[in-house]
A = this chain, B = another copy of it.
Amino acid sequence: MARVKRKEEILNIACKLFSQKGYHGTTIRDISDACGILAGSLYAHINSKEDLLYEITVRGARSFLDSLRQVVQSKGPASEKLRQALRAHIRVVAENIEAATVFFHEWKALTGERLQQIQQKRDEYEQMWEEILHEGIRSGEFPALDEKFARLLILSTGNWLYHWYKPDGPLASDEIADRFMNLILTGLMGKKEGSVADD
C-alpha cells in the first residue's frame, strides 16, 4: 500500500506543514511526527529538507504554467482568453490550496540555482499573461490599456487568493474567477450584466 506512495505522502504532509507554519518554521521532526516515524527514518525517502520544498514549488509552477499555456494557445477574443486564464489560475489555487500557499509564500526560502529556476518560471508565467493583454490591445479590444498595471491588477488578485480562499466556501472556483473578471472588464462604475445574480 505504500510502495511508491510513501514519498507522496511525505510530500503532502510537508506541504501541509509548510503552508501552516512556513518552511523555516517547520522542523524535520514536525514532519516525521506527522508521518508517524522517527526523524532519521525520513532520510530513507528524501535527501534533504530543501528537496521537499523544491519538489513542492516546482510542481506548483508546473501546474500554473501548464494550465495557462492551454489558454494562451486557444483561439477567441482576448477578453474571453482573459476570463479563461483567470479561471485556470483560480482552479489551480483552489484544487490544491496548500501547495499554492507554499508556492506563493515559501519559494524564496530556496537557495542557489533552484531559487533562480523558480524565479524564472514565475517570470515565464507573467509573460504569458502579458501576451494575452497585448493581443487584446493589438486587436482593439482593449483600446488604450495601461498594460503593465492591468497585468499587475489581475495577477495581484490571483496571487492573493491563497490568503482568503476556503475550499468549503459557497462559490465554485470558476464563479470566483468570473466575478473578478466582470469587475475587471467593466469596472466598478460600469454597467452590469448579471455580476451579482450570475447563475
Is A124 in contact with chain B by the CB < 8 A criterion?
no
Is A189 in contact with chain B by the CB < 8 A criterion?
yes
Are A183 and B109 neighbours in the complex by a CB distance under 8 Å? no
Complex interface residues of chain A between 127 and 157 (CB less than 8 A to chain B):
136, 141-146, 149-150, 152-153, 155-157
Bound CA–CA A186/B160 (angstroms):
22
Is A179 in contact with chain B by the CB < 8 A criterion?
yes
Are A141 and B189 neighbours in the complex by a CB distance under 8 Å? yes
Tell me how many chains of this kind the complex includes: 2
Is A112 in contact with chain B by the CB < 8 A criterion?
no
Is A45 in contact with chain B by the CB < 8 A criterion?
no
Are A186 and B184 neighbours in the complex by a CB distance under 8 Å? no
Bound CA–CA A152/B187 (angstroms):
14
> Which of A4-12, A49-57, A67-75, A190-198 makes up part of the contact surface?
A190-198
Choice from B23, B144, B196 contacting A146 with Cβ under 8 Å: B196
Are A153 and B180 neighbours in the complex by a CB distance under 8 Å? yes
Residues in B with CB closer than 8 Å to A184 are 153, 183, 187-188
Is A182 in contact with chain B by the CB < 8 A criterion?
yes
Are B188 and A145 neighbours in the complex by a CB distance under 8 Å? yes
Nearest residue, chain B, Cβ from A79: B189
A19 CB to nearest chain B CB (Å): 11
Are A195 and B146 neighbours in the complex by a CB distance under 8 Å? yes
Choice from B82, B160, B183, B185 contacting A160 with Cβ under 8 Å: B160
